[in-house]
Amino acid sequence: MTITPQTSVPPSPGKAFPKRLIIVAILFNLLLAIFAGTNLYHQRSQDEMDTRVTTGNICQILEQNRTSNRERLLCFRLEMICVED
């Protein structure tokens, strides 16, 4: 009676490598997409805040300009009244 040792053959690393490589590539791309999305969200929030500040500044300048024009018009009318007298 001859006893032959049974040897288990480990799985070939060549077959598992492509599968792992694909999984790592997909996870890396997912991580990059999440990072890019987060950056875009924060940039949009910053742009909205800048837009609000700019709009407020423009409104303030227009209000000052309108007040200045009104004062000039009143002064001009007063001068015309004074000249007529």
User: CA of 45: how far to CAs of 35, 37, 39, 54, 74, in Å?
Assistant: 16, 12, 10, 14, 44
**Secondary structure (3-state) at 59:** helix
pLDDT digit string (tens) for the chain, length 85 residues: 566 666 665 556 677 888 999 999 999 999 999 999 999 999 999 999 999 999 999 999 888 888 887 788 777 777 777 766 5
Report pLDDT for 73.
77
Please state, as a whole number, how many other Cβ atoms lie within 10 Å of the Cβ of residue 26. 10
d(CA 39, CA 43): 6
Q: What is the pTM of this model?
A: 0.53
What pLDDT, on a 0 to 100 scale, did the predictor assign at position 35?
98
pLDDT at 83: 67
> What is the reported pLDDT for 62?
87
